[in-house]
Structure 1
Amino acid sequence: MNNYLLSVYDKTEYNAGPKAKRDISKILSEKLNFKNIEFYFSLNNTISSKINKIKYLNWDIPRKLKNKKIDNIFIQYPIYSTVVTEKILSLLDSHVKVYYIIHDLESLRLFKNDANYLVEEINRLNKADGLVSHNSAMTKWLRENGVKTKISNLEIFDYLTENVAPKSNSYEKTLCYAGNLQKSDFLINRFYPIDVYGPNPKKKYPNTVSYKGVFTPEELPKHLKENFGLIWDGNRIDECNGVYGEYMKYNNPHKVSLYLSSGLPVIIWEKAALAGFVSKHQAGIVVESLAQLQDRLGSLTEEEYLNLRHNAQLVSEKLKKGHYVVEAVSNLMNNK
């Protein structure tokens, strides 16, 4: 069987976003002998981007897909251009099975209240022969909104890294947060001492926040010397709120994979989709509110902490080998 993975990268992206895509490309190539088809486009609304799109549609895409014998093609979804997506699909032979590996569902995020967009996205997904969904919560939402095609659950994004957090044989009740700090408004609240990493920090934080700088996704793990990694979103400490906070009820935040692949236990909101994964693997703590951190971390014994860290390291070994995407993709192709 000739299996391909198609990925479209935005030339303007310099954040951790592409890492999830690149890791999947590397894993499927090495583990399942997939061949990669990659495009590098500027997918924005500038005049030059629109002119370049004509070139993509009439030259770049047809040239790359020409004369390729494809049986199964997995597309890293979404591509963020309907015309580019349709052009790619139109050039595939009718026997080719098309699958989407979902990275984001914009009808759950940026277009959450747009009924027309929802219909378009569900129709687009139903045209595929199968989907890799983030988790059971996302799959439940897809089914409730009309998706009929086969679905395999990823569970969590794999995270390839040779770096791990510094070894710790002690428990000091320390906490870190890594991410795009521009949208991490909850950090302006005073709730617990925390080290933060990432681009676009606020000009002013409470004295409980210590800014530690910005590192590449590959380099960051070796700087995480804290005991726990926090997954939170929105501007409140009593719940995750706003577009991205609500989105946590369905998606797999990549920072969960960052922390766990580093061997770091996590702290996550109890209503997050990945809270179940964290509890199942006993690789962290699930909380209702950040106001609980003082009590929860204060009452945790060193032995209990080291057990959580050990469990996080067990998950880490799977993440660094690409276990989860290999299983999800294999299940789809094997009709499981």
Structure 2
Amino acid sequence: MSNKYQFCIRFLNTTTNSAATKAIIDCNNIFSAAGYKDYTVTVWDNANRAKYFPHLFSQLLKFYRSIQRGSTVIIQYPLLSINNVFGPYFIRLLRMKKVKFYCVVHDIESLRTGGKDKAAIDKEISNLNYYDAVIVHNPSMLSWLKEHGVTTRMIPLMLFDYLVQTPANAAAPRPFSPKIVFAGNLAKSNFIYKVKEINWDFNVYGPNFKPEQSLNGNLVWRGEFSAEEVVHKMEGSFGLIWDGEKIDSFDEVLGNYLKFNNPHKCSLYLAAGLPVIVPRQSAIAAFVQANNVGLLIDNLYDLNNFRVDEASYATMQQNVLKVRDLITGGAYLQQALQAAENAGH
């Protein structure tokens, strides 16, 4: 049996209420349960470069020396500041030890920032092609990467897991009410201050709420909680996936990225037992529709035309509970990881 290792770089955020950090820690835990030794390098988010890079490269050297011949290494991608050198130097060097490298993608930076910078895209494609297998979000992301030149084996994750110690709202199913939950970094979600034209109530959760802009009777800020706490705090009938400034159309950059990525907040809502409302153009819409765990919209005005009856809502809730059991136990990443390992044999 070959040795297995996991490696990622994680900022120790000054704020702990970060979904991004939750995703990384969950992956750490799932990899550890699968027998991967953890080599996570944690750095302060305000560390100066003079201290940051020597510390990082000393940790990389330590990691390199510990890896035995014929081992398997899984990376949480992207690797922040060393993303562009990890493949050309670290992976190529360890090829001499017959080491296999897999990665699970959290973000495709060149796509997240608009997908129009050819040089950035080409560099990212080159980085990904160093790996023996790449776990991507979904078939839409897989197709985009393939079209832009990724030739290595890719495995769609389908949905990010959201590990929860005790299942949220595990008791009786909740009755339907026209109440929507929105959670996340509210700094990039100014659309919430325009929902007075929508005939639903909105409970929002997260940092950077602007009370001076909240003049709508149907918008209530419920506070800021850690990623572990918020799953137990959300009150409403649906969790909403939307971003940007507008309520009548997709945001050009943030909305475009939703066409390819799996928003971690979708996993949060499902872990909380909430059906979801997602943009019809989003990549996650295919999963929502196939599993009947929510509604699809073209814009927020569509909500004014929805008539949700108790029976259809109860069916959605039952379907959500099936998915919740999978994501709160790490099933999706376990399955993708198994596929990557099998491909390597």
TM-score band (shorter)? over 0.9
Structure 2 unaligned regions, length at least 5? none
Q: Normalization by structure 2: what TM-score? A: 0.90
For each residue in 1:55-98, what CA deviation from the matched residue of structure 2 results, as whole angstroms up to 9, or x when unmatched? 22542221233233261111000011136635643663521111
2: CA distance, partners of 1:335 / 1:41: 33
1:8 alignment partner in structure 2 = 9
Distance of aligned partners of 1:57 and 1:175 in 2 relative to their CA distance in 1, 3 Å threshold: closer
Partner of 1:164: 168
Letter in 2 for 1:182: A
**1:140-178 residue CA offsets vs partner (Å, 9 max, x unmatched):** 000100110000000010000124137444222211100
Q: Distance in 2 between matches of 1:152 and 1:79?
A: 19
Aligned residues: 330
SS in 1 for 2:326: helix
Q: Do the aligned partners of residues 27 and 67 (structure 1) sit closer, same or farther apart at CA in structure 2, a change above 3 Å counting?
A: closer
User: For residues 105 and 41 of structure 1, what CA distance do their matches in structure 2 show?
Assistant: 22
CA contact (8 A) 2:293 2:319 kept: yes
The answer (yes or no) to whether the contact 1:265–1:308 under 8 Å persists in 2 is yes
**1:121 is matched with which residue?**
124
Alignment-derived partner of residue 247 in structure 1: 257
Q: Which of 228, 232, 238 is the equivalent residue of 1:228? A: 238
Q: Percent identity?
A: 32
Aligned to 1:280: 290
Q: What residue in structure 2 maps to residue 76 of structure 1?
A: 76
Task: Name the CA shift for 1:85/1:169 in 2 (closer, same or farther; >3 Å).
Answer: same
Q: Secondary structure at the match of 1:59?
A: helix
- Native 8 Å contact 1:132 1:328 kept in 2: yes
Paired residue type of 1:5: Q
Q: Which range moved further: 87-96 or 72-81?
A: 87-96
- The 1:273/1:319 distance shift into structure 2, 3 A limit, reads same
- Structure 1 distance, partners of 2:338, 2:125, is 23
Q: 1:110 maps to what in 2?
A: 113
Map 1:233-312 onto structure 2 (within 5 A): 233-296=243-306, 299-312=307-320
SS at match of 1:151: strand
The structure 1 residue matched to 2:42, chosen from 40, 43, 61, is: 40
Runs (5+) with no aligned partner, structure 1: none
Supply the AA of the counterpart residue of 1:112: G
- 1:6-155 mapped onto 2 (5 Å cutoff): 6-12=7-13, 14=15, 15-30=18-33, 32-42=34-44, 49-69=48-68, 71-82=71-82, 85=86, 88-89=90-91, 92-94=94-96, 95-110=98-113, 112-155=115-158
Higher mean C-alpha deviation, range 162-171 or range 200-209: 162-171
Deviation at 1:262, TM superposition (A): 1.3
Task: Give 1:11 shift.
Answer: 2.3
Tell me, what secondary structure is at the counterpart of 1:81?
helix
TM-score scaled to structure 1, two decimals? 0.93
Question: Is 1:330–2:338 an aligned residue pair?
Answer: yes
For 2:192, the equivalent position in structure 1 comes to 187
CA apart distance, 1:244: 1.4
Mapped to 2, the partners of 1:54 and 1:319 lie a distance apart of 35
Instruction: Please list the CA deviations of residues 118-154 of structure 1 after superposition, one character each: whole Å capped at 9, or x if unmatched.
Output: 1111111111111001000000000100110000000
Q: Are 1:239 and 1:289, in contact at CA under 8 Å, matched by a contact in 2? A: yes
Compared with structure 1, are the counterparts of its residues 316 and 168 closer, same or farther at alpha carbon in structure 2 (3 Å cutoff)? same
1:229-252 Cα distance to aligned partner (Å, 9 max, x none): 111112111222132111000000
Q: Which letter does structure 2 place at the counterpart of 1:85? A: F
Amino acid of the structure 2 residue aligned with 1:311: N
Three-state SS of the structure 2 residue aligned to 1:279 is helix
1:268-305 CA-partner distances (Å, limit 9, x unpaired): 01001000001111011111111111221xx2111111
The residue aligned with 1:318 is: 326
Q: Contact conserved, 1:284 with 1:308, CA < 8 A, in 2? A: yes
**Superposition RMSD in Å:** 1.9
Which segment is superposed worse, 52-61 or 305-314?
52-61
